[in-house]
Structure 1
Amino acid sequence: MQITRLWRPGTATPASEMVRGGGYFAQFEGFTPQMNAGFLNQFNKLAIHENWSKREKARRRDEAVETEFAHYFGTDYHDVAKWQELCGLVGIEIDGLSSITKCKKALGSRKVMVNLVNLGDHLKNGTPLKKFKNFWDFQRYTLKPGRCMSRTLAKKNAFVSVLLRHVA
Protein backbone atom coordinates (compact mmCIF):
# COMPACT_ATOMS: atom_id res chain seq x y z
CA MET A 1 0.00 0.00 0.00
CA GLN A 2 1.10 3.51 -0.75
CA ILE A 3 0.81 6.47 1.59
CA THR A 4 -1.05 9.32 -0.02
CA ARG A 5 0.32 12.65 1.10
CA LEU A 6 -2.09 15.56 1.12
CA TRP A 7 0.41 17.94 2.66
CA ARG A 8 4.14 18.53 2.52
CA PRO A 9 6.03 20.19 5.40
CA GLY A 10 6.71 23.84 4.85
CA THR A 11 4.31 24.22 1.91
CA ALA A 12 0.81 24.56 3.40
CA THR A 13 1.31 27.94 5.04
CA PRO A 14 4.76 29.45 4.61
CA ALA A 15 6.11 31.33 7.60
CA SER A 16 5.91 34.59 5.66
CA GLU A 17 2.15 34.10 5.20
CA MET A 18 1.81 33.19 8.86
CA VAL A 19 3.20 36.57 9.89
CA ARG A 20 0.93 38.45 7.50
CA GLY A 21 -2.13 36.26 7.96
CA GLY A 22 -2.10 35.71 11.68
CA GLY A 23 -0.62 33.11 13.92
CA TYR A 24 0.07 33.70 17.56
CA PHE A 25 3.28 35.69 17.27
CA ALA A 26 1.97 38.19 14.71
CA GLN A 27 -0.46 39.76 17.17
CA PHE A 28 2.16 41.43 19.36
CA GLU A 29 3.02 44.98 18.38
CA GLY A 30 6.73 45.61 18.12
CA PHE A 31 7.60 41.90 18.00
CA THR A 32 8.89 40.59 14.70
CA PRO A 33 8.60 36.81 14.42
CA GLN A 34 11.64 35.07 12.95
CA MET A 35 10.74 32.94 9.96
CA ASN A 36 12.93 29.92 10.75
CA ALA A 37 12.98 30.05 14.56
CA GLY A 38 11.61 27.09 16.46
CA PHE A 39 8.52 27.55 18.58
CA LEU A 40 10.27 27.50 21.97
CA ASN A 41 13.01 29.87 20.85
CA GLN A 42 10.52 32.31 19.39
CA PHE A 43 8.16 32.03 22.35
CA ASN A 44 10.96 32.71 24.85
CA LYS A 45 11.96 35.83 22.91
CA LEU A 46 8.35 36.98 22.91
CA ALA A 47 8.07 36.44 26.67
CA ILE A 48 11.14 38.63 27.21
CA HIS A 49 9.78 41.24 24.79
CA GLU A 50 6.45 41.33 26.63
CA ASN A 51 8.09 41.07 30.09
CA TRP A 52 5.83 38.19 31.18
CA SER A 53 6.12 36.63 34.63
CA LYS A 54 6.78 32.87 34.84
CA ARG A 55 3.12 32.26 35.54
CA GLU A 56 1.97 34.40 32.62
CA LYS A 57 4.54 32.77 30.36
CA ALA A 58 3.24 29.28 31.23
CA ARG A 59 -0.35 30.33 30.57
CA ARG A 60 0.53 32.00 27.29
CA ARG A 61 2.65 29.08 26.05
CA ASP A 62 -0.35 26.74 25.97
CA GLU A 63 -2.41 29.41 24.26
CA ALA A 64 0.35 29.89 21.67
CA VAL A 65 0.59 26.17 20.84
CA GLU A 66 -3.17 25.94 20.44
CA THR A 67 -3.36 29.08 18.30
CA GLU A 68 -0.50 27.98 16.06
CA PHE A 69 -2.10 24.57 15.56
CA ALA A 70 -5.45 26.17 14.71
CA HIS A 71 -3.63 28.44 12.26
CA TYR A 72 -2.49 25.43 10.23
CA PHE A 73 -5.47 23.10 10.57
CA GLY A 74 -8.33 25.46 11.27
CA THR A 75 -11.25 24.60 13.52
CA ASP A 76 -13.55 22.77 11.11
CA TYR A 77 -13.56 19.46 12.95
CA HIS A 78 -16.12 18.02 10.50
CA ASP A 79 -13.76 18.07 7.50
CA VAL A 80 -12.56 14.51 6.87
CA ALA A 81 -9.82 15.82 4.56
CA LYS A 82 -8.23 17.75 7.48
CA TRP A 83 -8.29 14.61 9.64
CA GLN A 84 -6.69 12.61 6.82
CA GLU A 85 -4.11 15.36 6.42
CA LEU A 86 -3.21 15.11 10.11
CA CYS A 87 -2.98 11.31 9.84
CA GLY A 88 -0.64 11.55 6.87
CA LEU A 89 1.42 14.19 8.61
CA VAL A 90 2.17 11.94 11.59
CA GLY A 91 2.95 8.96 9.35
CA ILE A 92 -0.34 7.05 9.36
CA GLU A 93 -1.32 5.45 6.09
CA ILE A 94 -4.58 7.10 5.09
CA ASP A 95 -5.84 4.42 2.70
CA GLY A 96 -9.05 3.13 4.26
CA LEU A 97 -9.46 6.12 6.58
CA SER A 98 -12.66 7.28 4.95
CA SER A 99 -14.32 8.79 8.01
CA ILE A 100 -13.44 11.12 10.84
CA THR A 101 -14.11 8.32 13.33
CA LYS A 102 -11.54 6.08 11.62
CA CYS A 103 -9.02 8.90 11.54
CA LYS A 104 -9.52 9.67 15.22
CA LYS A 105 -9.16 6.00 16.10
CA ALA A 106 -5.89 5.79 14.15
CA LEU A 107 -4.56 9.01 15.71
CA GLY A 108 -5.57 7.84 19.18
CA SER A 109 -3.51 4.67 18.87
CA ARG A 110 -0.93 4.15 21.60
CA LYS A 111 1.65 3.81 18.83
CA VAL A 112 1.15 7.42 17.71
CA MET A 113 3.39 9.55 19.91
CA VAL A 114 3.72 13.14 18.70
CA ASN A 115 5.02 16.04 20.71
CA LEU A 116 2.75 18.99 19.94
CA VAL A 117 5.52 21.60 20.13
CA ASN A 118 7.67 19.57 17.74
CA LEU A 119 4.66 19.15 15.45
CA GLY A 120 4.20 22.91 15.42
CA ASP A 121 7.83 23.40 14.41
CA HIS A 122 7.37 20.77 11.72
CA LEU A 123 4.36 22.61 10.33
CA LYS A 124 6.03 26.01 10.46
CA ASN A 125 9.60 25.27 9.33
CA GLY A 126 9.58 21.71 8.03
CA THR A 127 11.71 20.67 11.03
CA PRO A 128 11.81 16.86 11.07
CA LEU A 129 8.95 15.36 13.04
CA LYS A 130 10.47 13.34 15.86
CA LYS A 131 9.74 9.61 15.81
CA PHE A 132 9.96 7.86 19.15
CA LYS A 133 11.00 4.23 19.49
CA ASN A 134 9.01 3.76 22.67
CA PHE A 135 6.82 5.56 25.17
CA TRP A 136 9.72 6.12 27.57
CA ASP A 137 11.65 8.14 24.95
CA PHE A 138 8.48 10.10 24.10
CA GLN A 139 7.81 10.80 27.77
CA ARG A 140 11.39 11.89 28.50
CA TYR A 141 11.39 14.26 25.50
CA THR A 142 7.93 15.68 26.22
CA LEU A 143 8.53 16.36 29.92
CA LYS A 144 11.43 18.72 29.22
CA PRO A 145 10.56 22.36 29.98
CA GLY A 146 8.28 23.98 27.43
CA ARG A 147 7.28 20.80 25.62
CA CYS A 148 4.09 19.98 27.53
CA MET A 149 0.69 21.51 27.06
CA SER A 150 -2.15 22.03 29.48
CA ARG A 151 -4.72 19.30 29.04
CA THR A 152 -7.59 21.74 29.58
CA LEU A 153 -6.44 24.08 26.82
CA ALA A 154 -5.51 21.25 24.47
CA LYS A 155 -8.98 19.76 24.71
CA LYS A 156 -10.44 22.92 23.15
CA ASN A 157 -8.97 21.92 19.78
CA ALA A 158 -10.13 18.49 18.58
CA PHE A 159 -7.07 18.07 16.32
CA VAL A 160 -4.80 18.63 19.32
CA SER A 161 -6.83 16.64 21.85
CA VAL A 162 -6.73 13.44 19.80
CA LEU A 163 -2.92 13.55 20.03
CA LEU A 164 -2.80 14.06 23.80
CA ARG A 165 -1.03 11.39 25.81
CA HIS A 166 -0.69 11.12 29.57
CA VAL A 167 3.05 11.45 30.22
CA ALA A 168 3.43 12.41 33.88
Structure 2
Amino acid sequence: MRFGNRPHEPPNNFLQSFNVGYDQDLPVSLSFERVRQTRGWKVGSKRWKKAWKSCMDAEYDRLIGSRMTNLAQWQELCSKVGIEDTPSSITQCKKVLRNVHVNIVDLLDCWNDNSIPRRFKNQNALAAYTRDNDRYFGRNTAKEDKVLKVLLREIL
Protein backbone atom coordinates (compact mmCIF):
# COMPACT_ATOMS: atom_id res chain seq x y z
CA MET A 1 0.00 0.00 0.00
CA ARG A 2 1.52 3.34 -1.00
CA PHE A 3 0.35 6.70 0.17
CA GLY A 4 1.42 10.02 -1.32
CA ASN A 5 1.30 13.57 -0.06
CA ARG A 6 -2.13 14.93 0.47
CA PRO A 7 -2.57 18.29 -1.21
CA HIS A 8 -4.61 19.60 1.73
CA GLU A 9 -1.80 19.16 4.25
CA PRO A 10 -1.21 22.48 5.91
CA PRO A 11 2.34 23.77 6.27
CA ASN A 12 4.34 23.49 9.48
CA ASN A 13 3.27 26.80 11.00
CA PHE A 14 6.27 26.94 13.30
CA LEU A 15 8.76 26.74 10.42
CA GLN A 16 6.71 28.93 8.13
CA SER A 17 6.68 31.73 10.71
CA PHE A 18 10.42 32.36 10.26
CA ASN A 19 10.27 33.31 6.56
CA VAL A 20 13.42 31.41 5.57
CA GLY A 21 12.16 29.78 2.39
CA TYR A 22 10.30 26.95 4.08
CA ASP A 23 9.49 24.03 1.77
CA GLN A 24 7.08 21.53 3.34
CA ASP A 25 8.34 18.77 1.04
CA LEU A 26 11.84 18.87 2.57
CA PRO A 27 12.65 16.79 5.65
CA VAL A 28 11.62 18.69 8.76
CA SER A 29 15.07 18.41 10.33
CA LEU A 30 16.64 20.06 7.27
CA SER A 31 14.09 22.87 7.34
CA PHE A 32 14.72 23.33 11.06
CA GLU A 33 18.47 23.49 10.44
CA ARG A 34 17.91 26.35 7.98
CA VAL A 35 15.99 28.25 10.64
CA ARG A 36 18.64 27.46 13.27
CA GLN A 37 21.43 28.80 11.07
CA THR A 38 19.46 31.91 10.15
CA ARG A 39 18.62 32.63 13.79
CA GLY A 40 22.08 31.73 15.08
CA TRP A 41 20.83 29.24 17.66
CA LYS A 42 23.55 27.09 19.16
CA VAL A 43 22.74 23.38 18.95
CA GLY A 44 21.76 22.17 22.40
CA SER A 45 21.03 25.64 23.81
CA LYS A 46 17.80 26.28 25.69
CA ARG A 47 16.41 28.28 22.76
CA TRP A 48 17.38 25.52 20.31
CA LYS A 49 15.75 22.81 22.47
CA LYS A 50 12.54 24.79 22.86
CA ALA A 51 12.40 25.54 19.14
CA TRP A 52 13.21 21.91 18.21
CA LYS A 53 10.37 20.65 20.39
CA SER A 54 7.91 23.20 18.94
CA CYS A 55 8.98 22.33 15.42
CA MET A 56 8.69 18.56 15.90
CA ASP A 57 5.32 18.90 17.63
CA ALA A 58 4.02 21.03 14.76
CA GLU A 59 5.31 18.58 12.16
CA TYR A 60 3.82 15.60 13.96
CA ASP A 61 0.46 17.36 14.19
CA ARG A 62 0.67 18.30 10.51
CA LEU A 63 1.47 14.82 9.24
CA ILE A 64 0.11 12.30 11.72
CA GLY A 65 -1.53 13.61 14.87
CA SER A 66 -4.86 14.83 13.63
CA ARG A 67 -5.37 11.98 11.17
CA MET A 68 -5.34 8.78 13.14
CA THR A 69 -9.06 8.23 13.33
CA ASN A 70 -9.60 5.15 11.19
CA LEU A 71 -8.07 1.88 10.05
CA ALA A 72 -6.75 3.26 6.74
CA GLN A 73 -4.68 5.85 8.58
CA TRP A 74 -3.22 3.27 10.96
CA GLN A 75 -2.42 1.11 7.94
CA GLU A 76 -0.69 4.11 6.35
CA LEU A 77 1.49 4.47 9.45
CA CYS A 78 2.37 0.77 9.25
CA SER A 79 3.35 1.26 5.61
CA LYS A 80 5.43 4.33 6.46
CA VAL A 81 7.59 2.29 8.88
CA GLY A 82 8.06 -0.55 6.40
CA ILE A 83 5.47 -3.09 7.49
CA GLU A 84 4.69 -4.97 4.29
CA ASP A 85 1.80 -7.18 5.40
CA THR A 86 -0.84 -4.59 6.17
CA PRO A 87 -2.76 -5.46 9.35
CA SER A 88 -6.53 -5.71 9.02
CA SER A 89 -7.53 -3.93 12.24
CA ILE A 90 -6.38 -1.00 14.36
CA THR A 91 -5.58 -3.41 17.19
CA GLN A 92 -3.37 -5.47 14.88
CA CYS A 93 -1.66 -2.30 13.62
CA LYS A 94 -0.85 -1.26 17.18
CA LYS A 95 0.42 -4.73 18.02
CA VAL A 96 2.76 -4.80 15.01
CA LEU A 97 3.96 -1.24 15.62
CA ARG A 98 4.92 -2.07 19.22
CA ASN A 99 7.64 -4.30 17.78
CA VAL A 100 9.01 -1.67 15.41
CA HIS A 101 11.93 0.47 16.55
CA VAL A 102 12.18 3.68 14.52
CA ASN A 103 13.27 7.15 15.44
CA ILE A 104 10.20 9.40 15.41
CA VAL A 105 12.14 12.35 13.97
CA ASP A 106 13.36 10.09 11.16
CA LEU A 107 9.77 8.99 10.55
CA LEU A 108 8.71 12.63 10.19
CA ASP A 109 11.66 13.31 7.87
CA CYS A 110 10.76 10.37 5.64
CA TRP A 111 7.00 10.90 5.59
CA ASN A 112 6.67 13.07 2.48
CA ASP A 113 9.06 11.25 0.18
CA ASN A 114 7.65 7.79 0.98
CA SER A 115 11.04 6.51 2.09
CA ILE A 116 11.19 4.17 5.06
CA PRO A 117 12.99 5.33 8.19
CA ARG A 118 15.81 3.17 9.46
CA ARG A 119 14.48 0.32 11.60
CA PHE A 120 16.55 -0.87 14.52
CA LYS A 121 16.86 -4.42 15.81
CA ASN A 122 16.07 -3.41 19.35
CA GLN A 123 15.43 -0.55 21.73
CA ASN A 124 19.10 -0.29 22.72
CA ALA A 125 20.22 0.26 19.12
CA LEU A 126 17.51 2.89 18.66
CA ALA A 127 18.55 4.59 21.90
CA ALA A 128 22.21 4.71 20.88
CA TYR A 129 21.32 6.18 17.48
CA THR A 130 18.99 8.77 19.03
CA ARG A 131 21.61 9.87 21.55
CA ASP A 132 24.49 9.91 19.05
CA ASN A 133 22.52 11.97 16.53
CA ASP A 134 20.53 14.15 18.97
CA ARG A 135 17.24 13.18 17.27
CA TYR A 136 14.86 13.35 20.19
CA PHE A 137 11.12 13.79 20.04
CA GLY A 138 9.45 15.35 23.10
CA ARG A 139 8.68 12.60 25.61
CA ASN A 140 5.77 14.42 27.22
CA THR A 141 4.12 14.97 23.85
CA ALA A 142 4.63 11.34 22.94
CA LYS A 143 3.20 10.04 26.23
CA GLU A 144 0.00 12.05 25.73
CA ASP A 145 -0.65 10.89 22.17
CA LYS A 146 -2.31 7.56 21.38
CA VAL A 147 -0.24 7.02 18.24
CA LEU A 148 3.08 8.06 19.65
CA LYS A 149 2.58 5.88 22.71
CA VAL A 150 2.77 2.91 20.37
CA LEU A 151 6.06 4.11 18.84
CA LEU A 152 7.62 5.60 21.96
CA ARG A 153 10.67 3.83 23.37
CA GLU A 154 12.62 4.73 26.47
CA ILE A 155 15.94 6.28 25.54
CA LEU A 156 18.31 5.78 28.46
TM range (shorter): 0.7 to 0.9
The 3 A distance-change label for structure 1 pair 22 and 36 is closer
- Runs of 4+ displaced beyond 4 Å: 34-37
* Residue number in structure 2 paired with 1:107: 97
* Residue number in structure 2 paired with 1:12: 5
Q: Deviations over 1:1-50 (max 9, x none)?
A: xxxx142xxx2247xx76xx312455314221246644333212212334
Using the size of structure 2 for normalisation, the TM-score is 0.78
Aligned partners of 1:39 and 1:121 also within 8 Å = yes
What code does the residue aligned with 1:81 have? Answer: A
Aligned partners of 1:75 and 1:157 also within 8 Å = no
Aligned partners of 1:66 and 1:154 also within 8 Å = no
Structure 2: runs of 5+ lacking an equivalent: none
Q: Deviations over 1:34-90 (max 9, x none)?
A: 466443332122123345562122122122222212212241443221111111221
Using the size of structure 1 for normalisation, the TM-score is 0.74
Residue 92 of structure 2 aligns to a residue whose secondary structure is helix
Aligned partners of 1:13 and 1:72 also within 8 Å = no
Identify the match of residue 23 of structure 1 among 12, 28, 32: 12
* Residue number in structure 2 paired with 1:49: 38
* Residue number in structure 1 paired with 2:121: 133
Deviation at 1:116, TM superposition (A): 0.9
* Residue number in structure 2 paired with 1:40: 29
Q: Deviations over 1:85-113 (max 9, x none)?
A: 11122123224x32x2332222122xx10
Structure 1: runs of 5+ lacking an equivalent: none
Q: Percent identity?
A: 27
* Residue number in structure 1 paired with 2:86: 94
Aligned partners of 1:114 and 1:131 also within 8 Å = yes
Query: What number of residue pairs does the alignment pair up?
Result: 153
Structure scoring higher RCO (CA < 8 A, sep ≥ 6) equals 1
- C-alpha RMSD of matched pairs (Å): 2.7
C-alpha separation in 1, matches of 2:75 and 2:25: 26
The 3 A distance-change label for structure 1 pair 154 and 60 is farther
What code does the residue aligned with 1:135 have? Answer: Q
Aligned partners of 1:132 and 1:138 also within 8 Å = yes
* Residue number in structure 2 paired with 1:81: 72
Aligned partners of 2:101 and 2:121 also within 8 Å = no
Residue 60 of structure 1 aligns to a residue whose secondary structure is helix
